[in-house]
């Protein structure tokens, strides 16, 4: 999808069609989540602090993200993909790999499949997408990046190296700033430079594993298959405060809300976590993570909150915080889990209460039932 | 300060003290063993602000005085000495140990920096050391190890008249041992929560020597947060924990719907074997009916194991699942040839007790020890 969040907003607000659209946190510390191409012309891009975005593009339309709507469109688009092939590997909310090897007899050549997907997405959702077609995941992804927005790029097997070798090394998957710098020191600037270098010399620069990996990629080889089911490694959520928080009551509320969100997501995905981790960013940007591994895997907000709150209060020591995050790690599938209840624990406890709430939220919206302390005071209330 | 002593007496005393010394002391002096010679006796003390230990041995004292040396180093040295009299002398800044032709020089630490050991509180009663050691080991197994729930890491000792009860729980299981003791005052009514690790170590080290353990604690005014134990020449004190264990005794059923009797060692062996496939969630399942018992473990699509074994069962057929480690802990804690599992319902806590063969094929349940275990529950 191209500028996905912004495109969804433009699709449902046609009046925004020809304006720069920027979606992101609108608070004083918000960052841009997505900007349409009109906004990008002003130098606005994702991860840019909102304050800078507003300075660069004062006439843009600034919108708070609507996660529920984006998820709905994302699901519908993924369904279009699955009409073509069951081998769909979602990469994020707006990106997926499709293995169409087996779909060719039914739907024609990959190019034809790509065109029909682009047409359906545009017709059904009013948004554009870009498709890269190639023999490997890595090249397909690169092709789609290069063809954005609203494009289609096919890299034939015999054209892979011509496409790949002039690109900068930073386009290689796994090459960040640091690796790029060590490669530059060897005089390696393009993918072609890396491909031409003997692996042994590459090893000296970036280490054994990375060298083999980069050499394969630079030579256009990528053996990874499209895997429809990706195992979750952790489930987490975090919040950046508009102003640094040291008030225990505000912190408590934030953690309760995060725990509620994370536990709900874990239950929906069918996971419970053995490790509860918190992320704490202090006012001076110093960031620490602390975790505790528990006896019984957790998927109940109440338990998650108790542990997260203890971890945060122990480690924050009352200092003002800029950000807190709550995360469940060491995930285990909860339907395969035999739970060890405490002695005398009622058969129907908090877990049952929370799963009931899950059901209610599914039907009546995420704010239908919430912990009382998270209710927004109604007008007229104190 | 100077004394002479037989190697064995010194080794026993030093080793015992050194065991309770902290491995990572908060202040360096706490890694030390304090040696004090007075009136022809040597007292060796160790203290880490939580547990103190003190042992007295008779020596040939040449000069009274005190010295503070690294406890661990001293323990290792005396253990390695030849079986000959040992001569120990402390002179400005170092200590000298001579035994036969072996000579050691150790640095000493400043005695004045060493904290004063807590005074032993008043004696409240006595109990045979071996009985006490067994009882503590039976109960401590159920104590929690999670330091975020400090109360659960304790063993609760309840002294009411001539009855003495030990209780521990980590919320998932509970062990209770009731026995008799000899209180100083027959109207005594005291409850104290002692860190399980400290209590086990003490009881174990006292159990081997025989004799009676003297229990000491403040009887009035909430106490000073201290409990003491002594056997002959050895004394220890331990800090006590705040609070009380949750009142879980009421969960012990008074009547049962089903009883399973098996050879404890056999069920231990079978469970261990079967649990090999249980992986991380360590769940094992007992399928019981009149024909026998089948122990099973394993996931839906992964490795599986099952083994049948003989049992005597009186009740409706049922399947019950446990954390295998908790079951194994209970089976060894009952300390008996035959294990009896008493059920009310497969979802409700099960009571594990021991039984011993009596006259003519009768099996008699052993009173006094109960291990209450909560079975696993399956959602969905």
Residue A111's CB is within 10 A of a number of other CB atoms, namely 12
Question: Sign of dihedral through CA atoms B140, B143, B145, B147?
Answer: negative
Q: Are strands B234-239 and B226-231 parallel, antiparallel or unpaired?
A: antiparallel
- Tokens 């003791």 belong to B181
At B19 the pLDDT is: 87
Q: Is the Cβ pair B372, A343 closer than 8 Å?
A: yes
Res. A382: pLDDT tops 50: no
Residues in B closer than 8 angstroms to A299, CB to CB, are none
Class of residue B303 by CB neighbours under 10 A (exposed 0-12, middle 13-18, buried 19+): exposed
Are the CB atoms for B51 and B19 separated by under 8 Å? no
Residues in B closer than 8 angstroms to A341, CB to CB, are 172, 374, 376-377
Taking the C-alpha atoms of residue B317 and residue B292, their distance in angstroms, rounded to an integer, is: 10
pLDDT digits 0-9 by tens, A216-246: 888 888 888 888 776 678 999 999 898 999 9
Q: How do A21-24 and B102-107 pair as beta strands?
A: unpaired
Q: Are A298 and A263 in contact (CB under 8 A)?
A: yes
Judged by CB atoms closer than 8 Å, whether chains meet at B376 and A340 is answered as: yes
Token couple for B116: 């004063």
Structure tokens at B110: 């400043």
Asked if residue A380 has pLDDT above 60, the reply is no
Phi-psi bin for B303: left (phi > 0), alpha (psi -120 to 50), beta? beta
Chain B residues inside the 8 Å CB shell of A290: none
- The C-alpha atoms of residue A378 and residue B18 are separated, in whole angstroms, by 65
Cβ–Cβ under 8 Å, residues B297 and B281: no
Chain B residue whose CA is closest to A293: B146
- Residue B174 has its nearest CB partner, among A332, A335, A343, at A343
Nearest chain A CA: its distance from B339 CA (Å): 21
B349–chain A Cβ distance below 8 A for any pair: yes
Q: Is B302 on the interface with A (CB under 8 A)?
A: no
Q: State how far the Cα of B162 lies from the Cα of B125, in Å rounded to an integer.
A: 9
Q: With contact defined as beta carbons under 8 Å apart, do B341 and B352 qualify?
A: yes
- Please pick, among A15, A69, A95, A257, the residue that the annotation labels catalytic: A95
What pLDDT is recorded for position B380?
46
- Reply yes or no on whether the pLDDT at A303 is more than 70: yes
Task: Give tens-digit pLDDT for A100-113.
Answer: 988 888 888 999 99
* Interchain pair A335, B380: CB under 8 A: yes
Residues of A with CB under 8 A from a CB of B: 292, 295, 310, 332, 334-345, 347, 351
Say if B195 is an interface residue toward chain A (CB within 8 Å): no
On whether the CB atoms of residues A209 and A240 are closer than 8 A, the answer is no
Interface residue B24 vs chain A (CB under 8 A): no
The pLDDT value recorded for residue B20 is 83
Residues in B closer than 8 angstroms to A342, CB to CB, are 171-172, 374
Element (H, E) at A80: helix A67-84
Predicted TM-score (pTM) above 0.80:
no
Q: Check CB contact under 8 Å for A342 and B380.
A: no
Q: Do B148 and A342 touch (CB under 8 A)?
A: no
Answer yes or no: A177 catalytic: no
Structure tokens at A163: 């496409």
Considering only the beta carbons, identify the residue of B148, B169, B376 that sits closest to A343.
B169
B317/chain A closest Cα distance in angstroms: 21
Interchain CB distance below 8 Å, A338 and B146: no
Interface test with A, best of B168, B172, B321 (most A CBs within 10 A): B172
- The alpha-carbon gap from B150 to the nearest alpha carbon of chain A, in Å, equals 14
- Residues A170-216: tens digit of each pLDDT: 888 888 888 888 888 888 889 998 888 888 888 887 888 888 888 88
pLDDT-based confidence at residue A381 (cuts at 50, 70, 90): very low
The pLDDT of residue B347? 86
Cβ atoms B246, B142 nearer than 8 A = no
Interface ipTM > 0.90:
no
Contacts of B377 in chain A (CB under 8 A): 338-341, 347
Domains of chain B (ranges; CATH) run 2-113 (3.10.150.10), 123-249 (3.10.150.10), 252-373 (3.10.150.10)
Asked whether the beta carbons of residue B281 and residue A292 sit closer than 8 angstroms, the reply is: no
Which tokens hold the place of B27? 């202040």
- Give the model's pLDDT for residue B239: 92
**Residue of A344, A351, A353, A356 for testing the chain B interface, max B β-carbons within 10 Å:** A344
Band of the pLDDT at A248, cuts 50, 70, 90?
very high
**CA B200 to centroid of chain Cα atoms:** 2
Q: How far is residue A178's CA from residue A33's CA, in Å, rounded to a whole number?
A: 25
Q: What is the pLDDT of residue B241?
A: 93
Q: Is the pLDDT of residue A41 over 60?
A: yes
Count of residues in chain B: 380
CB contact under 8 A, A343 and B321: no
Q: How big is the A-B interface in CB pairs under 8 Å?
A: 53
CA distance A196 to A221: 14
Q: Which two tokens stand for residue A187?
A: 């005089």
- The two structure tokens encoding residue B61: 């004292």
C-beta atoms of A344 and B174 within 8 A: no
Determine the Cα–Cα distance for residues B233 and B240; give it in Å rounded to an integer. Answer: 23
Please say whether the beta carbons of A132 and A164 come within 8 A.
no
Q: pLDDT higher for A379 or A88?
A: A88
pLDDT band at A336 (very low <50, low <70, confident <90, very high): low
Residue of A nearest to B144 (CA): A295
Q: How confident is the model at residue A20 (pLDDT cuts 50, 70, 90)?
A: very high
DSSP string, A46-64: TTSBHHHHHHH-TTSEEE-
Q: Hey, which residues does B227 pair with through a beta bridge? A: B238
pLDDT in tens, chain B (380 residues): 999 999 999 999 999 999 888 888 888 899 999 999 999 899 999 998 889 999 999 999 999 999 999 999 999 999 999 999 999 999 888 999 999 999 999 999 999 999 999 988 999 999 999 999 999 999 999 999 888 789 999 999 999 999 999 999 999 999 999 999 999 999 999 999 999 999 999 999 998 888 999 999 987 755 568 999 999 899 999 999 988 999 888 889 889 999 999 999 999 999 999 988 876 667 889 999 888 899 998 765 668 899 999 999 999 999 999 999 999 999 999 999 999 999 998 889 999 999 987 776 677 888 899 999 999 987 54
Task: Decide if A343 and B377 are in contact by the 8 Å CB cutoff.
Answer: no
- Partner A contacted by B261 (CB < 8 A): no
- Pairing between β-strand B60-63 and β-strand A21-24 as defined by DSSP bridges: unpaired
How far apart (Å, rounded) are the C-alpha atoms in residues B136 and A95? 61
């Amino acid at each position: 999808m191209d500028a996905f969040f912004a495109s969804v907003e433009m699709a449902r607000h046609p009046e925004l069609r020809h304006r720069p659209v920027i979606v992101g946190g609108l608070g004083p510390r918000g960052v841009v989540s997505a900007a349409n191409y009109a906004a990008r012309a002003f130098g606005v891009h994702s991860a840019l602090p909102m304050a800078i975005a507003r300075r660069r593009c004062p006439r843009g339309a600034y919108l708070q993200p609507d996660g529920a709507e984006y998820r709905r469109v994302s699901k519908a688009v993924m369904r279009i993909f699955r009409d073509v092939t069951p081998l769909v590997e979602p990469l994020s909310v707006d990106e997926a790999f499709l293995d169409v090897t087996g779909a060719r007899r039914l739907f024609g050549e990959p190019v034809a499949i790509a065109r029909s997907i682009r047409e359906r997405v545009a017709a059904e959702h009013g948004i554009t997408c870009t498709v890269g077609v190639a023999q490997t995941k890595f090249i397909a992804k690169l092709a789609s990046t290069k063809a954005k927005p609203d494009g289609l790029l096919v890299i034939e097997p015999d054209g892979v190296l011509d496409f790949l070798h002039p690109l900068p090394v930073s386009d290689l998957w796994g090459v960040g700033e640091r690796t790029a710098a060590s490669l530059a020191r060897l005089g390696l600037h393009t993918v072609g430079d890396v491909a031409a270098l003997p692996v042994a010399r590459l090893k000296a620069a970036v280490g054994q594993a990375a060298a083999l990996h980069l050499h394969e990629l630079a030579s256009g080889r990528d053996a990874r298959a499209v895997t429809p089911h990706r195992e979750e490694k952790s489930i987490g959520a975090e919040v950046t405060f508009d102003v640094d928080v040291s008030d225990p009551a505000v912190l408590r509320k934030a953690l309760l809300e995060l725990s509620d969100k994370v536990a709900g997501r874990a239950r929906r995905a069918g996971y419970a976590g053995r490790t509860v981790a918190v992320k704490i960013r202090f006012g001076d940007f110093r960031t620490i993570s602390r975790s505790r591994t528990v006896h019984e895997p957790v998927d109940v907000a109440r338990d998650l909150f108790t542990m997260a709150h203890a971890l945060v209060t122990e480690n924050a020591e009352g200092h003002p915080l800029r950000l807190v995050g709550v995360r469940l790690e060491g995930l285990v599938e909860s339907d395969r889990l035999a739970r060890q209840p405490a002695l005398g624990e009622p058969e129907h406890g908090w877990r049952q209460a929370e799963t009931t709430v899950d059901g209610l939220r599914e039907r009546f919206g995420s704010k239908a039932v919430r912990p009382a302390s998270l209710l927004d005071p109604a007008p007229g209330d104190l | 300060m100077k004394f002479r002593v037989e190697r064995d007496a010194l080794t026993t005393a030093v080793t015992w003290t050194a065991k309770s010394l902290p491995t990572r002391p908060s202040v360096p002096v706490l890694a030390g063993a304090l040696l004090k010679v007075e009136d022809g006796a040597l007292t060796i003390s160790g203290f880490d602000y939580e547990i103190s230990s003190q042992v007295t041995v008779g020596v040939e004292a040449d000069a009274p005085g005190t010295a503070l040396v690294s406890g661990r180093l001293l323990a290792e040295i005396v253990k390695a000495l030849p079986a000959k009299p040992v001569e120990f002398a402390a002179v400005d800044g170092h200590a000298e140990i001579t035994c036969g032709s072996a000579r050691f020089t150790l640095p000493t630490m400043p005695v004045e920096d060493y904290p004063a050991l807590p005074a032993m509180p008043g004696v409240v009663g006595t109990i045979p050391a071996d009985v006490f050691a067994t009882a503590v080991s039976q109960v401590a197994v159920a104590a929690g190890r999670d330091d975020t729930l400090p109360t659960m890491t304790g063993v609760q000792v309840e002294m009411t008249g001539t009855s003495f009860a030990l209780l521990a729980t980590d919320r998932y299981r509970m062990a209770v041992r009731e026995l008799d003791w000899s209180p100083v005052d027959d109207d005594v009514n005291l409850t104290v929560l002692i860190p399980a690790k400290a209590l086990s170590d003490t009881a174990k080290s006292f159990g081997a020597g025989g004799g009676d353990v003297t229990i000491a604690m403040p009887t009035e005014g909430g106490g000073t947060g201290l409990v003491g134990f002594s056997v002959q020449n050895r004394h220890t004190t331990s800090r006590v924990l705040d609070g009380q264990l949750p009142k879980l005794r009421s969960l012990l059923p008074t009547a049962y719907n089903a009883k399973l009797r098996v050879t404890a060692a056999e069920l231990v062996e079978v469970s261990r074997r079967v649990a090999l496939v249980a992986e991380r969630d360590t769940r094992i399942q007992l399928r019981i009916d009149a024909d026998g018992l089948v122990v099973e473990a394993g996931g839906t699509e992964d490795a599986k194991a099952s083994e049948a074994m003989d049992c005597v069962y009186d009740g409706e057929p049922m399947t019950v699942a446990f954390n295998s480690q908790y079951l194994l802990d209970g089976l060894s804690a009952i300390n008996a040839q035959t294990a009896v599992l008493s059920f009310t319902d497969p979802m409700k806590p099960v009571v594990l007790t021991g039984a011993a063969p009596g006259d003519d094929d009768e099996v008699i349940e052993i009173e006094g020890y109960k291990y209450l275990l909560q079975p696993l529950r399956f959602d969905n």
